[in-house]
Amino acid sequence: MTDGTLQDAMLGLLRKVSTEAILPHYQTLSAAQIESKAPDDLVTVADRLAEKMLTEGLARIIPGLPVVGEEAAHANPEVLTWLNGDCWIVDPIDGTHNFAHGKPPFGILIAMASGGEAHAAWIYDVLTGRLCTARRGRGAYVGEDKLVAKSTGKNKPVVAISTLFMNPQQRETMKSHIAPNYTLVDIPRCAAEQYPRLALGINDVSIFERTLAWDHAAGALWLNEAGGKCARLDGSPYRVDEPERVGLIGAASPALWHDLAARIGAAA
């Protein structure tokens, strides 16, 4: 399959799932159609339907390639073993908390990985149709336009810090030692929005604690291919086959990444 054919097939699938599985449920969900998997972790009928359609559609695009979906992995953790080999990685609705409450942003995240590393990425904004894509070593795109990451250019860089999964000590460290050096903004509760913000001149840096593959495989690859930097706090690359590992920094440039990493290291 050529790159062009793959891109056309992926865009068609993303649009179909958005139109048939996600948008019909947007702002129409009943309480019975929303469940809590864990504290602050929701799932809706639209998540499950979207993942089913994506799994079936991806199987038609590349037959035999396993699909690691967020909801499938929640139902059967053995699915995570597929992250060690060749696989698709799918978040059917990233930003479910927003979606369940009838507000943006939310999107679809898909990555292809091999040997623990993502090598292709698709980040789709369901409401606007914005499609961010990347192939390892070939750059990052928004639509058909190649992207070079840019910062906000502000003297006090803009930071979005996800503290949802941090312990009290980590939160206090962020509040006392990190936040005062930055312009603090709210997180969008949606990696499909946060990663584009880091390359489009909206945010400069972001800190993530929980780093599950379906949330970060596509975004980390896309940001790095755009010329930003996404890596673990110790500088090691993000890998999809480390489900228990926590801590990740994304930045609009390597310089911004290194400055934040140094501040976190000094505060530890």
Helix (H) or strand (E) holding 15: helix 3-17
Q: Find out whether 53 and 17 touch, Cβ atoms under 8 Å.
A: yes
The residue behind tokens 């006392």 is 176
Question: Are 3-146 and 158-267 equal in CATH topology?
Answer: no
For residue 52, give the amino acid letter.
K
Q: Among 3.90.1560.10, 3.30.70.1290, 3.40.190.80, 3.10.50.40, what is the CATH number of 158-267?
A: 3.40.190.80
Q: CA-to-CA distance for 203 and 156, rounded, in angstroms?
A: 11
Predicted local confidence at residue 3, as pLDDT: 84
List pLDDT tens digits, range 95-152: 999 999 999 999 999 999 999 999 999 999 999 999 999 999 999 999 999 999 999 9
pLDDT in tens, 249-263: 999 999 999 999 999
pLDDT of residue 178: 84
For the chain, the straight-line distance linking the first and the last C-alpha, in angstroms and rounded, comes to 48
Non-local CB neighbours of 87 within 8 Å, separated by 6+ positions: 65, 66, 67, 68, 112, 113, 114
Looking at CATH, the fold of the domain delimited by 3-146 is given as Fructose-1,6-Bisphosphatase; Chain A, domain 1 (3.30.540)
Lowest mean pLDDT among 32-41, 60-69, 193-202: 32-41
Domain ranges of the chain: 3-146, 158-267
Q: Is the peptide bond before 168 cis (omega within 30 degrees of 0)?
A: no
- Nearest Cα residue to 180 out of 267, 268, 249: 267
The average confidence (pLDDT) of the chain is 95
170-202 per-position pLDDT tens digit: 778 777 778 888 998 989 999 999 999 999 999
